[in-house]
Amino acid sequence: MIKTGEFALFRDRHDAGQRLAQKLLHYKEAKNTIIIALPRGGVVVGYDISLALRLPLDVFITRKLGAPRILNSQWAPWPKPATGI
């Protein structure tokens, strides 16, 4: 949640997904269309979009790439597919 006095565009990830879905209504029930979400927050957003647009949801599992000599071990410049694709 957002601390008092801080600014955020959305209340939470559900709010973000619902607002984005409103912008994407022209894709509602589109053929050959799926929602792909990334873990660590994206699945919640994708789920709400999937429900609103009545489209299937898939999750693209990724893992972080290590970067030597980076102080923050959580740094991930890009996601790498967990399947090695």
The one-digit pLDDT tens for each residue of the chain (85 residues) are 556 667 788 889 999 999 999 999 999 999 999 999 998 889 999 999 999 999 999 999 877 666 666 555 555 555 566 665 5
Q: Is 52 helix (H, G, I), strand (E, B) or coil?
A: helix
pLDDT at residue 69, rounded to an integer:
61
pTM more than 0.75: no
Q: Using CA atoms in the order 14, 17, 19, 24, what is the torsion angle rounded to 10 degrees?
A: -160
pLDDT at residue 84, rounded to an integer:
58
pLDDT at residue 23, rounded to an integer:
96
**CA distances, 64 to each of 21, 34, 42, 57, 81 (Å):** 28, 24, 15, 22, 9
pLDDT at residue 40, rounded to an integer:
82
